[in-house]
Structure 1
Amino acid sequence: MELNFKQKYMLPKLYSLLVFLMFFSVVNAQNCTLDIGGKNSETIKTIFQLNEEQIAIMETLKGELEVKTKSTEDQIEKLLAEHPQSTEEDLIKLADKYKVLQKQQLDLAYESDKELLSVFNAKQYERYLQLCNEAIRQPIKVEPKIYGIPGIEE
């Protein structure tokens, strides 16, 4: 069975595009993220022993992130469904447009994680730094929140 001209020359180009997109994803994965938009909510609550206020903030951030990313996800679906992919130039343009949308998604998730980290106390943030170090990831820099001791007037 011999491949026709289009199959013979487009398959390596598609493979190259996929490898390029995977490489881009791996490079951006070096940040130490919590992924509050994912399915890790219970794990985050447990590992960092979040208090009620922090849990409420995390749930709010998760909801806001879902709303913000929905638009970008729709744009990605439309791009992949409608963008021409018949030439190498088309594929390069598709990859460039996809990278922009993917970066928007990553930036939104990063900002949500950063907001949650900003309400961590020093002990929780230290635990986060320890886990990032163990995973050889770049931590998100924030100033931990200082919580007062209830019942003590200053």
Structure 2
Amino acid sequence: MAKILGIDYGKIITGLSITDEKKIFAFGLNAIPTKNLMNFLEYFLVHEKIEEIVVGLPKKLNNQKEILIETEIQKFINKFHVKYPKIIIERLDERFTSKIAFSTMIELGLKRKKRRKKVILNQISATIILQSYLTKKKNSYS
């Protein structure tokens, strides 16, 4: 069965998450330098059957899009869609995911030094984005 890939796109580091085959749970996958994202995905998509990706949609509290990063995300989405036209691309509001991820790191007991690592933060954020999407999708079918 195909899986869903979650992406927390960042200027420097991009967090990735993936679902189980039943698309019930999201798991942290990796966090990689954004400049290597397309190369990573080319390799990854050869080994994993992905039918859909969920990319975080950065918004401000007033519901306005974060213009600077959104421009970069749109470039990525267009490039991805050209290369993989059969993979569905969804967007999900990612407000507060970084704050929730940081709180999760504290709850898990990660030391201050580890909490400073953007790699872990982005990976947890990607997992939150994907799990939120799965929950929203499940609730819309109920």
* Alignment TM class, shorter chain as reference: under 0.3
TM-score, normalisation: structure 2: 0.27
Larger helix percent = 1
Bigger radius of gyration among the two = 1
TM-score, normalisation: structure 1: 0.25
